[in-house]
A and B are shown apart, each in its own frame.
Chain A
Amino acid sequence: MTTHNALYKYLLFLGDNGLIQGHRLSELCSNGPILEEDLAMTNLALDHIGRAQAFLKYAGEVEGKGRTEDDLAYKRGEREFYNNLIAELPNGDFACTMARMLIVSSFEYLLFTALCTSKNATIAAIAAKAVKEAKYHFMHSRDWCYRLGKGTEESHRRLQNGFNEFWMFTGELFEMDADFAALANDGIGADLTVLKPQWLTLVQPILADSNIAIPNVDYMQTGSRNGIHTEYLGHILSEMQYLQRAYPDAKW
């Protein structure tokens, strides 16, 4: 049976993935390779932030302690964040950014497709909006993988390097714990173990068509389901939460 706390944590997982991935993409504002791509990536960042706002608002309601989405975003510590590790890793170069976007957006496309039929009406409604965004992010990054993978020797090397960097973080995307299993069992959450073969079916042909070899990794990184993160999350939070930490409850 789904506990209250399990639902709250699940909403943090969904919200934090959006918030942290959105924050990473927002760092590319004014740093895009061309003006058009700069605008595209900040657009995609806003999609993630909007999604985070919706999930964290609902998380605050479920928690029932009067916390708003802003409280949850700006006043939680690192160990209370449940985003997948891959979301918090640095952007790297443009090819790395696109490699990660392909991995994450294809996963999110499948996740939100599954959540569209969640028995929880609020999760289903947010997922219905998010699935359209994820589909576009997937298309955008997929086309860039084709271009970079089949482009020059350098663009191919950089893209392959991106997938090499991020592949050890793909195992965690599909990890289930007891709470996730209970939510999936009750038709509220998604069964991520079912998504894994679907995800490979989606991603493998794109990598093959981009002349990218699937990296051989012996060890998959893990930790975020228990709030254990890489060293990068703390640095994101110190920047993202600076204002609320320095001037608590500041308004303008």
Chain B
Amino acid sequence: MDTQLDLWEVFIQKKDGSEHAHAGSVHASDSKMALQNARDIYTRRNEGTSIWVVPSNYITASNPEDAQMLFDPSTEKVYRHPTFYVVPAGAKQI
């Protein structure tokens, strides 16, 4: 059993304008502690400009047993990929 406080999921934004990406999780008893622990664990090497923390029990995950039902139907629909467009030079975020 986990005796080390509650679990929080950590999302780090690498630079202004980019998305907050999942970095990992931390233990903490409140949101302030979760933010500080996330800072000390996941941004020690200059990785971040912003941090979000969310209690892990607020995340609802899809069931692995449903994976085939949920994701297989999209594998053969190549026409959904915008492969016929030319990406403008200099558009790095696409």
- Please give the residue numbers on chain A whose beta carbons come within 8 Å of chain B beta carbons, in ascending order: 34-37, 39-40, 43, 139-140, 143, 147
Contacts and interface: CB of A to CB of B under 8 A. Distances in A.
A32 to B, nearest CB: 11
Interface string B16-54: 000000000011111011001100110010000000000
Contact of A143 (B5, B32, B40): B32
21 contacts: A34-B5, A34-B27, A35-B4, A35-B27, A36-B26, A36-B28, A36-B37, A36-B40, A36-B41, A37-B37, A39-B37, A39-B40, A39-B41, A40-B36, A40-B37, A43-B40, A139-B36, A140-B36, A143-B32, A143-B36, A147-B33
Given A43-B40, A43-B44, A36 B32 contact: no
Contact of B29 (A39, A40, A139, A147): A147
B38 to A, nearest CB: 9
A143 B44 contact: no
Nearest to B29: A147
Nearest to B41: A39
What's the dominant secondary structure at chain A's contact region?
helix
Interface string B72-85: 00000000000000
A209 B16 CA distance: 36
Interface of B: 4-5, 26-30, 32-33, 36-37, 40-41, 44
A40 B28 CA distance: 12
A140 B39 CA distance: 11
A38 B26 CA distance: 12
A34 B4 contact: yes
A40 B32 contact: no
Nearest to A144: B33
A14 B58 CA distance: 46
B44 A36 contact: no
A37 B41 CA distance: 9
Nearest to A146: B32
B27 to A, nearest CB: 6
Contacts of B36: 40, 139-140, 143
B54 to A, nearest CB: 16
A143 B26 CA distance: 17
Contacts of B28: 36
A148 to B, nearest CB: 11
B47 to A, nearest CB: 14
A36 B33 CA distance: 10
A36 B27 CA distance: 7
A150 to B, nearest CB: 12
A37 B28 CA distance: 10
A143 B27 CA distance: 16
Nearest to A151: B29
Nearest to B40: A40
Contacts of A143: 32-33, 36
Contacts of A40: 36-37, 40
Contacts of A43: 40, 44
Given A35-B4, A36-B27, A36-B41, 6 more contacts: A34-B27, A36-B28, A39-B37, A39-B41, A43-B44, A143-B33
A144 to B, nearest CB: 8
Contacts of B29: 147
